[in-house]
Each structure stands twice: as structure tokens, then as C-alpha cells.
Structure 1
Amino acid sequence: MSTSSDVSSAESVDDAVEAFRRGEPVLVHDAADREGETDLVYPAGSVTPEAVARMRNDAGGLVCVALSDAVSEAFDLPFVQAAVDHPLTDDHQLSYDDRSSFSLTVNHRDTETGITDAERALTITELAAASEDPDAEAFATTFRAPGHVHLLRAASSLAERQGHTELGIALAAAADLPPAVVVCEMLDDESGAELPPAAARAYADRHGLVYVEGAAIAERFA
């Protein structure tokens, strides 16, 4: 028998998928026993300079673009931990995961410094466009590294890994959008720590956004 909590979780996932289809951001909390973070997550193709400003000002974390495993493979994107030969990468020692998803940092070649809201938005939306028909040669001629947009390489499925990277990609797939999403951690202005889930829910309510638990996404799409 379904409980009211089950129905609420299912509705939240449905609402998140519909918000993505409209190009709107959603708030995704991964899990208390994982990072314990809520990320502001956008479909990459819908990111504007105003969206980048919102992530800087309201979220405060690192603005990253997560790409699906298939797209990352087509672009020949490495994991930084494996690609960089340095003692710092020998033992990453993540308490909540086996590895980091970080890959290269990039700018679009039409940017200057790449850090402004407009230039980051350009890089992000062009990454979404490139992910629709991924080609390594075209990728190399369109973007350059290092840059100011951090790329994350998703695992092949939610069964393998359930970070914000994979949760966002799952929402994009369900919404029939390109396999590229932007994730940015929400931080608490007073403590500097992760924004507590209750505060993240309150932010979502104030701004008319969807808040969804990662476990509900994983249960639906894993």
C-alpha cells in the first residue's frame, strides 16, 4: 500500500521532470549519509547569464557541468584523478564515494577570460549543444582547457553511483533533454556549511522551485 510519503516523493520527481522540460532549475538533496548537500540543478541548455548569477549569489558553490558517461566517452574526457600524475591524486580518500567525478575545466573558444556570467553561460549552453551529437574533434575545436567551467563525468547509471552528477543526468533523460546539466552546491551564508535541507526547502518555496530528494529520483530511474 502506498503511503502519503511515497505519493509525495513520486509527485516531487514528476514535478522536477516537468520543471526541467520548462528549462527551470530544481533543488536536489543527495542523501544525509552521502554529501548531505542540496544542489541547484539546471538543464545546461537553459542556462542564461542570470542563471549563472543566481548560482553565484544564491547557491554559492562551484558551478559545474555534468555530462553523461556516453558523451564523456565520446569527448574522451578523463577523470582528473587518473589523468594528473601528482602525489595529490594518489589517494583521494573520499568518505562518501569511491572516486571524484571531476574531469577537465573548459572555456568556449569564443570567450575572453571565460569567467563572466555571460561567458560562462555561453560555455555551458554550447556544452549542452555539443552533447546532442558528441564528436571529439568538434569538441576540441569548440572548447579549450583549462577554463572556468568544471566538467563532471557521470557514471553509466544510478545503480553505479547516485551523486548529483547522475541524479541531474537522470532528470535530463526523463525530460528528453540533452545529457548535460549544471549543478551548484547551496551553502549557508551564516555558517558557510551546506545549506540544511529545511532551509533549501524554504528557498524552493519562496522562489516557486521544485525540491526533490535524490533517493526519490534514484528509486524512479535506477
Structure 2
Amino acid sequence: MSPAALTPTPAPAPVQPPKSNGVTTMSTGKRPTEVPHPPRTAFAFDPLEDALAAFARGEFLVVMDDESRENEGDLIIAGALCTTEQMAWMVKHTRLTGGWGSGYICIALPGERLDALEIPMMFPDNQDPHRTAYAVTVDYKNGTTTGISAHDRALTARALATSTAPSDFTRPGHLVPLRARPGGTLARRGHTECGVDLCALAGLPAAGLLCELVNDDAAGSMARRDDCRRFADRWGLKMVSVEMIAGWRRAHPEAGL
């Protein structure tokens, strides 16, 4: 895969919305449209070039991590572009077939971004088995109410991508920041680092919104590879893996991510 094939694709120029403290308060992205009868084919990931182009347009991706790790699929979208409509859809489809899920939405950010916004770690001694680095939850102050609605969480995500003022946020809140490890997917093969790397490859602010997919069964079991492929096909989404992102970075150190 050549570096030219993965030249960052600029996001489409948005309609100029009202702004507050430099943060976009409206956006125009649409939720995915269900495909009535998706084709059933042998499992395959989508080409990375196609996935990055979709991501830069503000579309969701389904991203798998390694089968030897969590073996889970996450929905990931650029935080800078996420709309209220897309956030509502994301909350709903944390359950595979459309039931309402937990809506545990996180946003992956570089450590220096969290430091600049004065958002500390949730707990100093990280005991998570996969070392997921949870930070203190936040809400954006301007134009939000309780912080839990799709509107409020989408606005908070866009603010985390673009705001420069720690005072713009209340702590605790309803959106969960995750601290990405320096080096991205080359340092840790997690969805957190993948969310930040995807934004960098797409030429967008480094803020990747993500949420785990679970099955609509009695146990609410995690969606595995084939489950996630069916979900992606059903909603017309591109599906890639953390390894595909890490592999491209290994092959192209000159990209300087």
C-alpha cells in the first residue's frame, strides 16, 4: 500500500454554524441508513483507503482489535464531526440488532490534549487488565443541560476536539475521555490508540469517539468478528482492524504520526 494511496482526505467543508468559544455547536452529519438485504459474503475487511475516506467524511467505522486481545469490535467516529443524530444512533446501536444498550461512549485523546485541558486520570493506579486509561468524565458547559442527551454528548465531543480552555468543561460529566499512549497503535494495540491514529490519518483533530458493540442476546455478549461484519454490512459501514492501522504505520514511518 503506497503512502500516496493514504494521503489524508480533507473533510468536506461544513455549513458555517453558530459557534461558542470556537466550538462548533451544530453539524450536518447523518446517521447510517440500514441496508434492507445486505449481501452475505466470505469475511473480509474493507480496504483501508476506503475506510479512511469514509472516516474523513464523518462516517462511522467498525474496528476490530486482535483476536488474542479483547477480540471486540468498536464503533469509531471522529469526535470533531459527530452530530446529535449520529450520537443518538451510536448510543442505540451499542446493541447489535438495534436494542438499546448501555451507551457507554468514550473519546480517545492524546495525553498532551488531556493535560492542556486539565483532565486528570480517573484513578492513579490503573488496574484495568488491558490498561485502558480512563480519565475523569466531563461535560461541555456552553449550550448543554444535564450533559447526558445525545445533543450534549455530541457537543462535548466536538469541544474536546477543538476547545483550548479547561474552564469550558465541568468535571465529572457524562463523556469518558481515554488517554492514548504515545506512539499510538505502535505502542499499544487498543481501540483508544486506533481512534487517535484514525483521526491523524484522516487529517482531523485527534479525538476519536468510540463505543463497544454488543450482541442483542440475553447475556448482552460482546460482538465478535463475524457479528461485527454482519453489523457493518447491515448499516453500510466500512470495517477495518487495529492491526491494519498499526501495519500501515510500521510500513510508513515517514508519515511522522
The normalised TM-score by structure 2 is 0.72
The residue correspondences of 1:143-162 to structure 2 (distance < 5 A) are 143-157=169-183, 158-162=185-189
Which residue in the other structure is 2:40 paired with?
none
For the aligned residue pairs, the C-alpha RMSD in angstroms reads: 1.7
Q: Which has the higher contact order (CA 8 A, sep 6+)?
A: 1
Match of residue 167, structure 2, among 123, 126, 141: 141
Question: For 1:18-53, what per-residue CA distance to the aligned partner results, in whole angstroms no more than 9, with x for missing partners?
Answer: 111111110001111111110000000111111111
1:57 aligns with 2:89: no
The normalised TM-score by structure 1 is 0.83
Letter in 2 for 1:66: A
Match of residue 106, structure 1, among 116, 126, 138: 138
- Give the paired residue count: 197
Relative to 1, partners in 2 of residues 1:117 and 1:19: Cα closer, same or farther, differing over 3 Å? same
Could you tell me how far apart the structure 1 residues matched to 2:116 and 2:140 are? 18
Matched-pair contact (CA < 8 Å) for 1:15–1:210: yes
Identity of paired residues, percent?
A: 36
Matched-pair contact (CA < 8 Å) for 1:170–1:221: no
3-state SS, counterpart of residue 28 of structure 1: strand
Matched-pair contact (CA < 8 Å) for 2:114–2:179: yes
The residue correspondences of 1:28-67 to structure 2 (distance < 5 A) are 28-59=63-94, 60=101, 61-67=103-109
In structure 2, list runs of 5 or more residues that go unmatched. Answer: 1-43, 95-100, 251-257
Runs of 4+ in structure 1 off by over 3 angstroms are: none
Letter in 1 for 2:58: G
Question: For 1:156-213, what per-residue CA distance to the aligned partner results, in whole angstroms no more than 9, with x for missing partners?
Answer: 1122212101011111101100000100000001131111211111111121110001
If each structure's helix is expressed as a fraction of its own residues, which one has the higher value?
1
Matched-pair contact (CA < 8 Å) for 2:156–2:175: yes
1:20 aligns with 2:46: no
Could you tell me how far apart the structure 1 residues matched to 2:245 and 2:128 are? 27
Letter in 2 for 1:75: L
Which residue in the other structure is 1:167 paired with?
194
